[in-house]
C-alpha cells in the first residue's frame, strides 16, 4: 500500500524573499537618492532627477506592496498542503489529490480557482535554463469540506529537449477574481516518475 504524500506550499519562502528584496532595495536606493540630494550633485538636471525619484517610488513601492500582500495572505491562509494517497505519479496516469488549508478559509474567498500543472525541463549541469515542456490547467470549485480538488491526466510522453539534465513538476493554484487577498500558492517538485532518456544513437542504428 502506498503511503500518503504531503507537499507544503512555497509561500513561506516567498514571503521571506519578498521582504528581503523590498527592504534591501528601498535601503540601497533610498541611500543613493539621499546622497544625490544631500551632496547636491549638479550634473543631473531636474528632469533626470524627477525620473530617478519616480522610478524609485514605483519599484520600491511595488516591492513593498508585494511583501505586504504576501504577509496578508500568509496571515489569512497560512501554510497550505498538497495531499495525495499516491506516493508517485506515472506517465499516462492521473495526478490527483487536494489542497488543504490549516484552518477554515476566510468567508470572502470567491471559492473558484485556476489549477495549473507544469513540467519544466532543466538544461545545463547547474540548472541555468528552465523551459516549459508541458502544461495543463482548468478551473475548480472549493469542495464542501474546504479543500481544493486536483485532478489531471498526465501525458504518456512529452517532447523533451534531448540535452535536458532533469525535470521538475510544479502545481500552481490561484483564486479567480479574489482581489488583493486572492489566494495563490505553488507546490514544487511533485513526485512524477522520471522520464526515460532516449539513447542518442538509437535512431542511427
Q: pLDDT (tens digit, 9 = 90+) per residue, 96-150?
A: 999 998 877 665 556 789 999 988 877 665 556 777 888 999 999 988 888 999 9
pLDDT in tens, 3-21: 567 888 888 888 899 999 9
Cell of 56: 524609485
pLDDT in tens, 49-102: 778 778 888 988 899 998 998 898 888 888 899 998 888 888 888 999 999 988
The packing angle between helices 46-77 and 11-39, to 10°, is 160
Q: Does residue 201 carry a pLDDT above 60?
A: no
Q: Please state the pTM of the whole predicted model.
A: 0.72
Using DSSP's 3-state secondary structure scheme, residue 25 falls into helix
pLDDT in tens, 17-35: 999 999 999 898 888 777 7
44 pLDDT tier (thresholds 50, 70, 90): low
By the 8 A CB rule, do 173 and 152 touch? Answer: no
Cell of 130: 528552465
- Nearest Cα neighbor of 170 from 107, 121, 204 is 121
Amino acid at each position: 500500500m502506498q503511503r500518503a504524500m504531503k507537499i507544503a506550499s512555497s509561500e513561506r519562502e516567498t514571503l521571506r524573499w519578498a521582504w528581503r528584496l523590498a527592504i534591501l532595495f528601498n535601503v540601497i536606493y533610498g541611500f543613493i537618492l539621499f546622497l544625490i540630494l544631500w551632496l547636491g550633485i549638479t550634473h543631473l538636471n531636474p528632469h533626470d532627477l524627477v525620473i530617478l525619484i519616480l522610478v524609485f517610488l514605483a519599484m520600491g513601492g511595488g516591492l513593498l506592496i508585494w511583501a505586504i500582500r504576501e504577509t496578508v495572505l500568509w496571515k489569512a491562509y497560512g501554510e497550505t498542503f498538497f495531499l495525495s494517497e499516491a506516493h508517485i505519479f506515472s506517465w499516462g496516469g492521473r495526478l490527483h489529490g487536494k489542497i488543504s488549508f490549516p484552518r477554515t478559509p476566510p468567508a470572502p474567498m470567491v471559492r473558484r480557482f485556476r489549477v495549473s500543472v507544469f513540467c519544466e525541463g532543466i538544461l545545463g549541469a547547474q540548472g541555468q535554463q528552465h523551459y516549459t515542456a508541458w502544461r495543463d490547467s482548468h478551473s475548480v470549485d472549493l469542495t464542501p469540506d474546504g479543500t481544493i480538488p486536483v485532478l489531471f491526466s498526465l501525458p504518456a510522453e512529452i517532447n523533451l529537449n534531448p540535452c535536458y539534465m532533469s525535470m521538475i513538476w510544479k502545481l500552481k493554484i490561484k483564486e479567480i477574481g479574489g482581489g488583493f487577498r486572492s489566494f495563490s500558492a505553488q507546490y514544487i517538485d511533485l513526485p512524477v516518475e522520471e522520464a526515460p532518456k532516449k539513447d542518442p544513437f538509437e535512431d542511427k542504428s
